[in-house]
Amino acid sequence: MMVKRLIFFFACLCPLSCYCQAQENRLTTTDTVVTSSEGVKVKVQFGILKVPENRDAAHSRLIDIHFALMKTTSAGITPPLIYLEGGGSPSSWQAKDPHYLTDWLPYLAQSDVLLIDQRGTHDRDLVYIWEGEFPTDVLVSEDKAARHYQKMATRALEVFRERGVDVTGYHLAENARDVEEVTAALGLEKFALFGYSYGTRISLMLLQALPRRISRAVLAATDGLDQSFNLPADADAHFAKLSAMVAADTALSRDIPDLAALLRQVMQNLKNEPVEVTVTHPLTGTSHQILVGPLGLALILRMDMDDATDIPVIPRLLYSLSKGNTKILRWFVQKRIVYFLAVPANGLSQGIESGVAPNRRQKIRRQAHSSLFGNSVNFPFYLVLDTWPKTREPLISYVDTLTVPVLFISGELDARTPPSQAQEIRKRYPSSAHLVVENAGHEQLLSHPEIKKRVMQFLNGKGLKDEQIHAGSILFIPLTGSDLPEAHPSLE
């Protein structure tokens, strides 16, 4: 089985010489100049490369891969840098935005920067909108959520087939092939990689398949080939960190001596009697009442408790719920209700395409029974893991260690891709360093000035050592009051 997986792994990516289809018929580009917010003019080539949606299918439809090649503002002293964004999000638009373009200027002083969007991020045919009645009880329990989501996913598949969409074309191997074909079309023989979140998974596959073409790699919020399904124990460990932070806050600890105990109390209250909040349908603008039980709270926390912009209000969220106040809860439900109203074919396929190794799946099941968060850590993927159309052989194997220098970056408060995942993966990369950013969540890794400085040094050839970097303190919002120095949107 291991040999079979390794053969498949390398067969997924063909060498550059195999890129033999007529590029001139599939590639369109537009050259322009964009001025950054600092007044620096940057030459940018925007392009679209048409590729097969499913390279294994004989008559697959062609889809668009968007990219933006920003030209270096100097002589260019290092190989071009390819940036691969997190799941479901494009990045080529950043080359059009003056403020985001300014963020790329330090990198452009060293090399060209190529932003490649993931397949499907510009295709409206890949999004199904629920046509049935508004789901008023999906946040009460796992059973109710499963019934609705599985019904919605079944209908989504019917619609995708009617539209001619092949959902089995949206997986890691195809994303990696897209990168290879874009670089071939642009004549890039050697390059560096910069991956974030799901982009690290694409980067890891490229590192395995094309190590000689990659000079260096930066992996931020690392998600390994066999780590796509999260461990409930990691979510518990993360919440324990938050609980310790609250216990150390003298202003909060008087009313919340144990945040985890408060969460258990609130979840039990919601199990005994779900609360009702009013939300607005994000598409129709109509108002709906929705019941929230322990699953709803677990989902909200799972999605937002590692975002440093939301962490400050979490103690107040739980405290207010214990007092019967649902205002903050309503804001979070509004933020996340879209997950029960739409199915993105590319996002769902990419979330489950690697499968989950039997031993990891067993561990998840064992941990879910005792975890505060249960199966919510893998929502919605676990609900359709056994019924969504499968891609090819799951990519859950690595080959031997590689000598490509790799810089891993992790947020100390990242529950989705915790530092332990990077530590596990880096065993295969002896020429690696690991930066852990204190008080940084999943979303805040790339904006810290010290991180940018270290990344620049690494890409410029400097060896780095393991290091912890402080990203500032988390300032929790007081449990009561409205006249606050630091506010949160949920309190408006």
Complete DSSP assignment for 457-481: HHHTT-----EEEE-----PPPSS-
CB atoms within 10 A of CB 335: 17
Count how many Cα atoms sit within 13 Å of the Cα of residue 304 in the half-sphere of its side chain.
Answer: 23
Give every CB contact of residue 352 below 8 A, 6+ residues apart in sequence.
Answer: 228, 381, 384, 385, 388
**What is the pLDDT tens value at each position of the chain, 492 positions in all?**
333 333 344 444 444 444 444 555 799 999 999 999 999 999 999 999 999 999 999 899 999 999 999 999 998 789 999 999 998 789 999 999 999 999 999 999 999 999 999 999 999 999 999 999 999 999 999 999 999 999 999 999 999 999 999 999 998 889 999 999 999 999 999 999 999 999 999 999 999 889 999 999 999 999 988 888 899 999 999 999 999 999 999 999 999 999 999 999 999 999 999 999 999 999 899 999 999 999 999 999 999 999 989 999 999 999 999 999 999 999 999 999 999 999 999 999 988 876 677 888 899 999 999 999 999 999 999 899 888 997 755 555 566 668 899 999 999 999 999 999 999 999 999 999 999 999 999 987 888 888 999 999 999 998 889 999 987 889 999 999 877 767 899 998
- How much is the pLDDT for 15? 44
Residue 66 near residue 92, CB atoms below 8 Å: yes
Count how many Cα atoms sit within 13 Å of the Cα of residue 404 in the half-sphere of its side chain.
Answer: 27
- pTM for this entry: 0.92
Residue 64 token pair: 């668009």
CA distance 197 to 444: 12
Residue 295 near residue 140, CB atoms below 8 Å: yes
Residue 140 token pair: 């009460």
Residues of the chain with CATH 3.40.50.1820: 29-123+175-228+404-470
Percent of the chain, pLDDT > 70? 92
Residue 41, SS3?
A: strand
Percent of the chain, pLDDT > 90? 77
- How much is the pLDDT for 398? 62
> Topology of 29-123+175-228+404-470 in CATH?
Rossmann fold (3.40.50)
CA distance 190 to 171: 24
| DSSP H or E stretch at residue 225 | none
Give every CB contact of residue 87 below 8 A, 6+ residues apart in sequence.
Answer: 118, 197, 198, 347, 350, 351
